[in-house]
Amino acid sequence: MNLKIIFCTAATCCIIQVYGQSPLQTAGEAATDEWTLEECIDYALAHNTDVATGKIEVESGKIALNSARMSRLPDLSASLGGNVYFGRSPSRDASYIDNSQISGSLGISANIPVYQGLKIKHEIDKAKIDFEAATQNLALARKNVSLNIASLFLQVMYDKELVAIARSQLELSSSQLELSKGQFESGRVAHSEVVRNESLVAADRASLIQNENTYTLALLDLRQAMNLPDSISLSPVMDTGELPRLEDIPALSQIYEQSVRLHPSIKYAEASLQSSRFALKSAKSSYQPSVFFSAGYGNSVYSNLTDRSMNTSFWNQLQGNGNEYIGLSISIPIFSRNSVRNNVKLSKLSVSRQELLLSEAQKSLKKEIEQAYYGAIAAYSTLDSSQKALEAALLNFENEKASLDSGRSDMYDYANAKAEVEKAQATLAHSKYDFILRVRILKFYMI
């Protein structure tokens, strides 16, 4: 078979093959454990601890917002008590008499905040923003997990292709070894040629084992990031037949402008800044007086256990002993050992800190986008040059193979040409997945 066709087939596998099974999986095994990138991301999002923690924080923010809104309502409480008294007590003529009695009381009261310097309003506004911040933080956690899984997934696919390349190289060197053995038996080549081929086969076999081990470790990293139990098989598959086009990538300025408006890291920083500003307003409201309206009702009954002739009926006591009240109280802050003043100062510092964090988040986002954008451009250029380098390496190897078969070249040149082909195939695979990853990163920043 023409060697160029063999290597072109191997190179094509590196670029467009859809792997139906793991390189370590035998051909007879059923491909029931195949996982696409989207499936890996969905599973990771459903089982990731950071995402689960983010969901809890969102629920906590929802409860805190409800508590802040309910603070406008009155405090309503009821009381019920009873006492039994045994012993002597002084009478009106200064003598002590037996005065054992039983008494009971009940009451209900309400306390309504009328004015607190708009503190309740500011706390409600802050709770709304905190809830929004928790929501954005959850979205950021989901993006980070998705991006991490995508990176690990593509690393697995790259290592998988290296295994396929190493296996094809081993098959080729094994075929060459069998050919040299036949030529030695016919007296066409010396025994040293067989030894050199055996050495090349051993080196290719060691390379295959090393690549298989690397693939296994990459698969383990992906499994651990997904929190996938050992009882579930994992064989990542990916269709790379249609690579992203460079023309489809938006301009750098467009990506950044859209990311600043939509990316959760920026929206979280903005929400945190707004929350600190509402906290400052709430702290300042403590300088102003607080007004409360109160109202209540109370009643009591008693029964003298010593002289029952003094007792009146239970219902008559309820009708005659009842009392109602309403009140308005004003609390004016005069001196609080500088606690209010210091709280205001701390709140101002918190605002300044959040402003710095927002600025840093914007700078960090811009840097990450620029790295991903120019990295994608460079990866695409590398991908194009890698394809040309592979074609040149294949042509050179074919020439060296023909020279070796005709006796015009030695095994050293042949091995070097073969190594160059393997290197070009690995470079092509790396540049391909690097380009795919960087394009996906840019998409993550735009949604």
pLDDT one-digit tens code per residue, 178-209: 877 887 787 777 787 788 888 888 988 999 99
Enclosing domain of residue 86: 77-115+292-332
> Which residue, of 304, 332, 360, is where some domain finishes?
332
Q: Is 185 exposed, middle or buried (0-12, 13-18, 19+ CB in 10 A)?
A: exposed
Q: Looking at the DSSP assignment, which residues form a beta bridge with residue 107?
A: 79, 298
Q: For the chain, how many structural domains are there in total?
A: 2
Percentage of the residues of the chain whose pLDDT score is greater than 90: 48
Residue 178 contacts residue 115 (beta carbons within 8 Å): no
Helix 37-47 and helix 119-185, axial crossing angle in degrees, nearest 10: 140
Secondary structure element (H or E) that encloses residue 271, with its range:
helix 264-284
Q: Which tens digit of pLDDT belongs to each residue from 366-415?
A: 998 999 899 889 888 888 888 888 888 888 888 877 877 766 666 667 77
Amino acid at 254: Q
Which 8-state DSSP code applies to residue 111? Answer: E
Residue 226 contacts residue 44 (beta carbons within 8 Å): yes
And the tokens for 294?
């109160």
Q: What is the CATH number of the domain that holds 305?
A: 2.20.200
Average pLDDT, the chain: 85
Give 239's contacts (C-beta < 8 A, 6+ positions apart): 18
Q: What is the mean pLDDT of residues 250-257?
A: 89
Question: Do residues 160 and 302 both lie within one domain?
Answer: no
Question: Do residues 362 and 440 both lie within one domain?
Answer: yes
Question: Do residues 310 and 407 both lie within one domain?
Answer: no
CB atoms within 10 A of CB 180: 24
Question: Do residues 19 and 38 both lie within one domain?
Answer: yes
Residue 442 contacts residue 372 (beta carbons within 8 Å): yes
Spatial separation of the C-alpha atoms in residues 181 and 184, rounded to whole Å: 5
> In this model, does residue 90 exceed pLDDT 80?
no
> In this model, does residue 44 exceed pLDDT 90?
yes
Amino acid at 370: E
Question: Do residues 109 and 18 both lie within one domain?
Answer: no
Residue pointed to by tokens 């629920």: 59
Which pLDDT value is given to residue 12?
39
Q: Is 172 exposed, middle or buried (0-12, 13-18, 19+ CB in 10 A)?
A: buried
Q: Which tens digit of pLDDT belongs to each residue from 278-308?
A: 999 999 999 999 999 999 999 998 887 777 7
Q: Which of 43-52, 78-87, 270-279, 298-307 has the lowest mean pLDDT?
A: 298-307
pLDDT bracket for residue 89 (50, 70, 90): low
What angle (nearest 5°) sits at the alpha carbon of residue 355, between those of residues 353 and 358?
A: 110
> In this model, does residue 137 exceed pLDDT 60?
yes
Which pLDDT value is given to residue 73?
92
Q: Is 32 exposed, middle or buried (0-12, 13-18, 19+ CB in 10 A)?
A: exposed
Question: Do residues 97 and 161 both lie within one domain?
Answer: no
pLDDT bracket for residue 91 (50, 70, 90): low
CB atoms within 10 A of CB 29: 12
Q: Looking at the DSSP assignment, which residues form a beta bridge with residue 96?
A: 90
Nearest partner of 218 among 156, 307, 142, judged by Cα = 156
Longest CA span, the chain: 144
Which pLDDT value is given to residue 4?
40
Angstrom CA distances, 87 to 98, 105, 361, stand at: 6, 21, 75
Question: Do residues 428 and 367 both lie within one domain?
Answer: yes
Which pLDDT value is given to residue 29?
37
Which pLDDT value is given to residue 26?
35
Question: Do residues 209 and 258 both lie within one domain?
Answer: yes
Question: Do residues 265 and 352 both lie within one domain?
Answer: yes
Q: What is the CATH number of the domain that holds 9?
A: 1.20.1600.10
Question: Do residues 300 and 284 both lie within one domain?
Answer: no
pLDDT bracket for residue 92 (50, 70, 90): low
Q: What is the pTM of this model?
A: 0.78
Secondary structure element (H or E) that encloses residue 391, with its range:
helix 339-406
Spatial separation of the C-alpha atoms in residues 140 and 392, rounded to whole Å: 45
Question: Do residues 205 and 262 both lie within one domain?
Answer: yes
Question: Do residues 226 and 328 both lie within one domain?
Answer: no
Residue 129 contacts residue 271 (beta carbons within 8 Å): yes
B/e letters for 427-439, b = 16+ CB within 10 Å, e = fewer, are bbbbbbbbbbbbb
CB under 8 A, 24+ apart: contacts of 85-88: 86/305
